[in-house]
Copies of this chain bind each other. A is one copy, B any other.
Amino acid sequence: MTVATLASEPSSRDRILDVAEGLFARRGYAGVGMKEVADGVGLGKSSVFHHFASKAELYSAVCARILSTIEDRLVRSLAEGGAPQVRLERLVGELMELLAAHPSYARLLLRSLFEDDDLAGDGPEEQAAQRAIGGIMESMATLLKEGMASGVFRASSVPHVLLLTVGQIAFPFASGEFGQEVLGKDVFDPAQVKRLKKEALELVQFGLVEQGRA
């Protein structure tokens, strides 16, 4: 870990992470070669190995960076306070905007969940990633619990609703060409993102908020 420079040029390390993020998102861990990453950055393959000791380590670093970014955003969002209803709406909206602003995020994260050999190695990056996932899920679970306890949200099983909702929010931004075919337009087009946000918020809200059904 080198010290951040004041100059604006991104370090080789960061440029490698950027390229690897895009490739891993599109083709998965096994589908990407280190040579491909190196070519994308404009370096030799050996130079990539100088910054990341192995392909697995590079992958972990990519995942950890994404998860930390998401966790930061969610924690900040929840810290702004407000009624559970308001916090939930803000959280879903910001999460979707974050995923929309970084097309690799949803795709890479969902892919990483599908790997059976989980990234539960013992490297520091893996630990950071696991911690971030834990933080993300626990913040959301806490919010749901509070809302249900106060009667604002419909009583239901927090973990099950959590799992369903995560899929609902993340899938559209991971669905690639499929999503494009369903919508008829690019999923990441601002107008489509806006519409997805609106529909998701209405689905979540009217599905969770108590409204006269005892």
Interface status of A27 (Cβ within 8 A of chain B):
yes
Given the known inter-chain contacts A26-B116, A111-B114, A113-B175, please indicate yes or no for A182 contacting B203, CB distance below 8 A: no
Interchain CA distance A212-B163 in the complex, whole Å: 28
B167 near A171 with CB under 8 A, answer yes
For A169, the chain B residues whose CB sits under 8 A away are 167
**Which of A44-52, A66-74, A83-91, A193-201 is the contact stretch?**
A193-201
Given the known inter-chain contacts A26-B116, A207-B207, A212-B212, please indicate yes or no for A182 contacting B162, CB distance below 8 A: yes
Closest to A204 in B: B207
Closest to A23 in B: B116
A164 near B203 with CB under 8 A, answer yes
Closest to A120 in B: B177
For A176, the chain B residues whose CB sits under 8 A away are 113-116
Size bin of chain A's contact surface: 35 or more
A163 near B175 with CB under 8 A, answer yes
Nearest Cβ in chain B — how far from A33, in angstroms?
10
A183 near B159 with CB under 8 A, answer yes
For A192, the chain B residues whose CB sits under 8 A away are 160
A172 near B164 with CB under 8 A, answer yes
Interface status of A81 (Cβ within 8 A of chain B):
no
Interchain CA distance A172-B212 in the complex, whole Å: 29
Closest to A183 in B: B159
Interface status of A93 (Cβ within 8 A of chain B):
no
Interface status of A137 (Cβ within 8 A of chain B):
yes
Pull 15 A–B residue pairs with CB atoms less than 8 Å apart, ordered by A: A28-B30, A113-B174, A154-B202, A157-B195, A159-B183, A160-B192, A163-B171, A163-B172, A163-B183, A163-B187, A164-B172, A164-B199, A167-B169, A167-B171, A203-B203
Q: Taking beta carbons and an 8 Å cutoff, which residues of A are in contact with B?
A: 25-31, 107, 110-111, 113-118, 133, 137, 154, 156-157, 159-172, 174-179, 182-184, 187, 192, 195-196, 199-200, 202-204, 206-208, 211-213
